[in-house]
Amino acid sequence: MTTLSCRVATTLRHLDDALNVRYAVFGSELGLLGGSALAAPREVNCFDTLETTSHVVVYADEVPVATTRLLLPNQEVARATGGRWGLALEDKVDLSSVGGTGLLFAESTRLCILHPWRHSEALLWLLAGLYWESRRRGVTHWIASANMETDCGEDARLIHQVAKHKGWLSQRWHVPNHPSPPPPETPLVPLYSEWERAGARRGQLDGLRMPGVLSFFARKMGARFISEPIYDPAFQRYSLPLVAALNEIPASTLRRFDALSVPAARGA
Protein backbone atom coordinates (compact mmCIF):
# COMPACT_ATOMS: atom_id res chain seq x y z
CA MET A 1 0.00 0.00 0.00
CA THR A 2 1.34 3.41 -0.99
CA THR A 3 1.94 5.84 1.87
CA LEU A 4 1.75 9.61 1.41
CA SER A 5 3.89 11.99 3.45
CA CYS A 6 5.16 15.55 3.16
CA ARG A 7 8.55 17.09 3.83
CA VAL A 8 9.93 20.59 3.95
CA ALA A 9 13.02 20.57 1.77
CA THR A 10 16.26 20.69 3.73
CA THR A 11 18.57 18.95 1.25
CA LEU A 12 19.48 19.40 -2.40
CA ARG A 13 17.71 16.14 -3.12
CA HIS A 14 14.42 17.50 -1.74
CA LEU A 15 14.82 20.75 -3.70
CA ASP A 16 15.61 18.78 -6.84
CA ASP A 17 12.49 16.68 -6.30
CA ALA A 18 10.38 19.85 -6.12
CA LEU A 19 11.87 21.36 -9.28
CA ASN A 20 11.48 18.05 -11.12
CA VAL A 21 7.77 17.80 -10.25
CA ARG A 22 7.27 21.40 -11.36
CA TYR A 23 8.83 20.69 -14.75
CA ALA A 24 6.80 17.50 -15.15
CA VAL A 25 3.56 19.49 -14.66
CA PHE A 26 4.30 22.91 -16.17
CA GLY A 27 6.67 21.73 -18.88
CA SER A 28 5.99 18.16 -19.97
CA GLU A 29 2.25 18.01 -19.23
CA LEU A 30 1.04 21.54 -19.91
CA GLY A 31 3.73 22.64 -22.36
CA LEU A 32 4.10 26.05 -20.72
CA LEU A 33 7.89 26.25 -20.55
CA GLY A 34 8.87 26.21 -24.22
CA GLY A 35 9.59 23.32 -26.51
CA SER A 36 13.35 22.93 -26.09
CA ALA A 37 14.49 19.63 -24.58
CA LEU A 38 16.56 20.00 -21.43
CA ALA A 39 19.37 17.68 -20.37
CA ALA A 40 18.13 17.91 -16.78
CA PRO A 41 14.46 19.02 -16.92
CA ARG A 42 13.76 21.30 -13.97
CA GLU A 43 11.54 24.39 -13.53
CA VAL A 44 13.63 26.83 -11.52
CA ASN A 45 13.90 30.56 -10.85
CA CYS A 46 15.80 32.96 -8.60
CA PHE A 47 13.41 32.68 -5.62
CA ASP A 48 14.01 28.95 -5.19
CA THR A 49 17.31 29.17 -3.28
CA LEU A 50 16.63 32.17 -1.03
CA GLU A 51 16.78 31.63 2.73
CA THR A 52 13.26 33.05 2.93
CA THR A 53 11.85 30.31 0.67
CA SER A 54 10.48 26.96 1.87
CA HIS A 55 9.62 24.09 -0.46
CA VAL A 56 7.01 21.54 0.58
CA VAL A 57 7.13 18.20 -1.23
CA VAL A 58 4.62 15.36 -1.02
CA TYR A 59 5.93 11.83 -1.51
CA ALA A 60 4.16 8.61 -2.40
CA ASP A 61 6.49 6.31 -0.51
CA GLU A 62 9.77 7.82 -1.76
CA VAL A 63 8.50 9.19 -5.10
CA PRO A 64 7.80 12.97 -5.25
CA VAL A 65 4.28 13.61 -6.57
CA ALA A 66 3.39 17.19 -5.55
CA THR A 67 5.03 20.39 -4.44
CA THR A 68 4.52 24.05 -3.59
CA ARG A 69 6.74 26.76 -2.22
CA LEU A 70 6.33 29.42 0.45
CA LEU A 71 7.98 32.80 -0.11
CA LEU A 72 8.47 34.89 3.00
CA PRO A 73 9.24 38.61 2.74
CA ASN A 74 12.76 39.26 1.47
CA GLN A 75 14.43 42.64 1.92
CA GLU A 76 17.05 42.00 -0.77
CA VAL A 77 14.30 41.45 -3.32
CA ALA A 78 12.28 44.39 -2.01
CA ARG A 79 15.26 46.76 -2.40
CA ALA A 80 15.99 45.49 -5.91
CA THR A 81 12.39 45.73 -7.13
CA GLY A 82 11.01 48.62 -5.10
CA GLY A 83 8.27 46.40 -3.65
CA ARG A 84 7.04 46.36 -0.08
CA TRP A 85 7.40 42.66 0.70
CA GLY A 86 9.93 41.29 -1.77
CA LEU A 87 7.48 38.68 -3.04
CA ALA A 88 7.25 37.34 -6.60
CA LEU A 89 3.64 38.48 -6.98
CA GLU A 90 4.70 42.13 -6.64
CA ASP A 91 5.90 41.92 -10.23
CA LYS A 92 2.20 41.71 -11.21
CA VAL A 93 0.26 43.62 -8.52
CA ASP A 94 0.89 46.53 -6.16
CA LEU A 95 0.86 45.11 -2.63
CA SER A 96 1.81 48.36 -0.89
CA SER A 97 -1.63 48.65 0.75
CA VAL A 98 -1.67 45.09 2.05
CA GLY A 99 -0.58 44.45 5.62
CA GLY A 100 -1.03 45.67 9.16
CA THR A 101 0.46 45.54 12.63
CA GLY A 102 1.31 41.99 13.63
CA LEU A 103 0.56 40.56 10.18
CA LEU A 104 3.10 38.53 8.23
CA PHE A 105 2.26 37.79 4.60
CA ALA A 106 3.91 34.97 2.66
CA GLU A 107 3.30 33.94 -0.92
CA SER A 108 2.17 30.45 -1.81
CA THR A 109 3.21 29.70 -5.37
CA ARG A 110 4.15 26.94 -7.85
CA LEU A 111 1.53 24.57 -6.45
CA CYS A 112 1.40 21.50 -8.69
CA ILE A 113 0.50 17.81 -8.50
CA LEU A 114 1.40 15.05 -10.95
CA HIS A 115 -1.64 14.06 -12.99
CA PRO A 116 -2.13 10.53 -11.55
CA TRP A 117 -2.28 12.00 -8.03
CA ARG A 118 -4.59 14.95 -8.68
CA HIS A 119 -7.69 13.29 -7.25
CA SER A 120 -5.97 11.75 -4.24
CA GLU A 121 -5.09 13.04 -0.77
CA ALA A 122 -1.89 14.52 -2.22
CA LEU A 123 -3.49 18.00 -2.31
CA LEU A 124 -4.57 17.68 1.32
CA TRP A 125 -1.05 16.64 2.35
CA LEU A 126 0.44 19.50 0.35
CA LEU A 127 -1.77 22.15 1.94
CA ALA A 128 -1.31 20.65 5.40
CA GLY A 129 2.46 20.80 4.98
CA LEU A 130 2.22 24.38 3.76
CA TYR A 131 0.03 25.26 6.75
CA TRP A 132 2.36 23.62 9.29
CA GLU A 133 5.44 25.30 7.81
CA SER A 134 3.64 28.67 7.72
CA ARG A 135 2.67 28.39 11.38
CA ARG A 136 6.23 27.41 12.29
CA ARG A 137 7.55 30.53 10.58
CA GLY A 138 4.97 32.91 12.05
CA VAL A 139 2.99 33.55 8.88
CA THR A 140 -0.50 35.00 9.44
CA HIS A 141 -1.70 35.31 5.83
CA TRP A 142 -1.09 33.59 2.53
CA ILE A 143 -1.09 35.60 -0.64
CA ALA A 144 -1.23 33.88 -4.01
CA SER A 145 -2.55 34.08 -7.55
CA ALA A 146 -4.77 31.13 -8.46
CA ASN A 147 -4.99 29.61 -11.93
CA MET A 148 -8.18 30.61 -13.74
CA GLU A 149 -7.74 27.81 -16.30
CA THR A 150 -8.32 30.07 -19.31
CA ASP A 151 -6.50 32.44 -21.64
CA CYS A 152 -9.75 34.13 -22.67
CA GLY A 153 -10.08 37.68 -21.34
CA GLU A 154 -13.88 37.69 -21.50
CA ASP A 155 -14.08 34.45 -19.55
CA ALA A 156 -11.56 35.67 -16.96
CA ARG A 157 -13.63 38.81 -16.38
CA LEU A 158 -16.75 36.67 -16.11
CA ILE A 159 -15.11 34.39 -13.54
CA HIS A 160 -14.29 37.49 -11.48
CA GLN A 161 -17.91 38.61 -11.80
CA VAL A 162 -19.13 35.21 -10.58
CA ALA A 163 -16.69 35.37 -7.65
CA LYS A 164 -18.16 38.74 -6.69
CA HIS A 165 -21.68 37.29 -7.01
CA LYS A 166 -20.71 34.51 -4.60
CA GLY A 167 -19.27 36.96 -2.05
CA TRP A 168 -15.70 35.78 -2.60
CA LEU A 169 -14.09 39.21 -3.06
CA SER A 170 -12.17 40.58 -0.10
CA GLN A 171 -13.91 43.33 1.85
CA ARG A 172 -10.60 44.40 3.40
CA TRP A 173 -8.12 44.62 0.53
CA HIS A 174 -8.21 45.45 -3.16
CA VAL A 175 -4.92 45.89 -5.00
CA PRO A 176 -4.24 47.33 -8.48
CA ASN A 177 -2.57 45.27 -11.20
CA HIS A 178 0.59 46.36 -12.96
CA PRO A 179 0.40 46.55 -16.77
CA SER A 180 0.82 43.13 -18.36
CA PRO A 181 1.20 41.78 -21.90
CA PRO A 182 -2.06 41.14 -23.75
CA PRO A 183 -3.56 37.65 -24.05
CA PRO A 184 -3.73 35.93 -27.45
CA GLU A 185 -6.20 37.46 -29.91
CA THR A 186 -7.76 34.05 -30.42
CA PRO A 187 -8.03 32.20 -27.08
CA LEU A 188 -6.92 28.60 -27.10
CA VAL A 189 -8.43 27.64 -23.74
CA PRO A 190 -11.92 29.14 -23.30
CA LEU A 191 -13.82 28.18 -20.16
CA TYR A 192 -17.38 29.11 -21.10
CA SER A 193 -19.52 28.52 -24.17
CA GLU A 194 -21.13 31.32 -26.16
CA TRP A 195 -24.46 30.23 -24.68
CA GLU A 196 -23.09 30.62 -21.14
CA ARG A 197 -21.60 34.02 -21.94
CA ALA A 198 -24.89 35.20 -23.42
CA GLY A 199 -26.73 34.12 -20.28
CA ALA A 200 -24.20 35.93 -18.10
CA ARG A 201 -24.78 39.15 -20.03
CA ARG A 202 -28.44 38.81 -19.01
CA GLY A 203 -27.38 38.42 -15.38
CA GLN A 204 -27.66 34.62 -15.25
CA LEU A 205 -24.64 33.81 -13.08
CA ASP A 206 -25.87 31.14 -10.67
CA GLY A 207 -25.23 28.15 -12.90
CA LEU A 208 -21.79 29.11 -14.13
CA ARG A 209 -18.98 26.82 -13.06
CA MET A 210 -15.87 28.21 -11.39
CA PRO A 211 -12.32 26.95 -11.99
CA GLY A 212 -11.60 24.20 -9.48
CA VAL A 213 -8.61 25.87 -7.83
CA LEU A 214 -10.48 29.14 -7.20
CA SER A 215 -13.51 27.33 -5.80
CA PHE A 216 -11.36 25.12 -3.59
CA PHE A 217 -9.41 27.99 -2.05
CA ALA A 218 -12.53 30.07 -1.47
CA ARG A 219 -14.59 27.26 0.05
CA LYS A 220 -12.00 25.13 1.85
CA MET A 221 -9.30 27.65 2.77
CA GLY A 222 -11.36 30.79 3.40
CA ALA A 223 -9.51 32.73 0.67
CA ARG A 224 -10.86 35.96 -0.77
CA PHE A 225 -9.85 37.56 -4.06
CA ILE A 226 -8.15 40.95 -4.01
CA SER A 227 -7.57 42.04 -7.60
CA GLU A 228 -8.75 41.90 -11.18
CA PRO A 229 -7.60 38.95 -13.33
CA ILE A 230 -3.97 38.96 -14.50
CA TYR A 231 -2.72 37.40 -17.72
CA ASP A 232 0.60 35.60 -17.27
CA PRO A 233 2.36 35.17 -20.64
CA ALA A 234 4.86 32.69 -19.18
CA PHE A 235 2.09 30.26 -18.17
CA GLN A 236 -0.36 31.41 -20.86
CA ARG A 237 -3.27 31.61 -18.43
CA TYR A 238 -5.11 34.20 -16.38
CA SER A 239 -4.80 34.05 -12.63
CA LEU A 240 -6.67 35.75 -9.78
CA PRO A 241 -4.81 37.13 -6.74
CA LEU A 242 -6.12 36.11 -3.32
CA VAL A 243 -5.45 36.41 0.39
CA ALA A 244 -6.18 33.71 2.96
CA ALA A 245 -5.90 34.39 6.71
CA LEU A 246 -4.59 31.29 8.49
CA ASN A 247 -6.81 32.07 11.50
CA GLU A 248 -9.85 32.01 9.20
CA ILE A 249 -9.27 28.63 7.56
CA PRO A 250 -12.47 26.65 8.19
CA ALA A 251 -12.37 24.33 11.20
CA SER A 252 -13.42 21.41 9.00
CA THR A 253 -10.25 21.85 6.92
CA LEU A 254 -8.01 22.09 9.98
CA ARG A 255 -9.51 18.87 11.35
CA ARG A 256 -8.56 17.14 8.12
CA PHE A 257 -5.01 18.46 8.46
CA ASP A 258 -4.80 17.21 12.04
CA ALA A 259 -6.06 13.78 11.04
CA LEU A 260 -3.24 13.17 8.59
CA SER A 261 -0.25 12.70 10.88
CA VAL A 262 2.44 14.63 12.71
CA PRO A 263 3.55 17.91 11.09
CA ALA A 264 5.71 17.79 7.98
CA ALA A 265 8.97 15.95 8.51
CA ARG A 266 12.12 18.02 8.01
CA GLY A 267 15.00 15.89 6.83
CA ALA A 268 15.79 12.74 4.93
- Does this model's pTM top 0.75? My answer is yes
- Report the CATH number that the domain containing residue 222 is assigned in CATH: 3.40.630.30
pLDDT of residue 1: 84
For residues 90 and 96, what is the distance between their CA atoms, to the nearest angstrom?
Answer: 9
Domain span at 13? 4-266
Total domains, the chain: 1
Spatial CA neighbour of 144 closest among 51, 221, 34: 221
What phi, psi does 134 have (nearest 5°)?
A: -65, -45
123 pLDDT higher than 90: yes
User: What pLDDT, on the 0 to 100 scale, is given for residue 177?
Assistant: 96
What is the structure's pLDDT at 267? 46
Our CA angle for 129, 163, 175, nearest 5°, is 75
- Tally the C-alpha atoms within 13 A of residue 262's C-alpha that lie toward its C-beta: 3
Res. 263 pLDDT band, cuts 50 70 90: low
Range in 37-41, 64-68, 137-141 with the lowest mean pLDDT: 37-41
Which percentage of the chain shows pLDDT scores above 70?
96
| 3-class secondary-structure state, position 134 | helix
